Amino acid sequence: MRQCEYKAKHEGRIFAKIGTFYPSSKTCSACGHKLKDLSLATRSWTCPYCGAHHDRDLNASLNIKQEGIRMLKAAGMTVLRS
């Protein structure tokens, strides 16, 4: 994590930290529904609310990106697509 922070600062970028307990794996990146339980052994799942099928890691990465964008906008920053 420190290396990412260092590189971001070195390149004039902003580094946003998402909380350790943010439920990135068990929140549906399509509709926002949060599963009550999702075991570490479960590698993919289907949202019972909207039916979207998720790879656990890809879904988590999308949620982390969305949360980072939300945090930056809440801080009054303009977020550009990259």
pLDDT digits (tens, 9 = 90+) for 11-59: 998 888 999 999 999 999 999 999 999 999 999 999 999 999 999 999 9
The domain total for the chain is 1
Is residue 6 situated within a structural domain?
A: no
| 56 inside domain | yes
Is 82 part of any domain?
Answer: no
In the prediction, which pLDDT does 65 show? 94
User: Does some domain include residue 59?
Assistant: yes
Instruction: Give the pLDDT of residue 10.
Output: 95
Residue 42 lies in a domain: yes
Let me know if residue 25 belongs to a domain. yes
pLDDT score of 82 more than 90: no
- The pLDDT of residue 80 is 85
Is residue 81 in some structural domain? no
In a domain, residue 31? The reply is: yes
Cβ burial, residue 55 (10 Å; 0-12/13-18/19+): exposed
Token pair of 49 as six digits: 């609310």
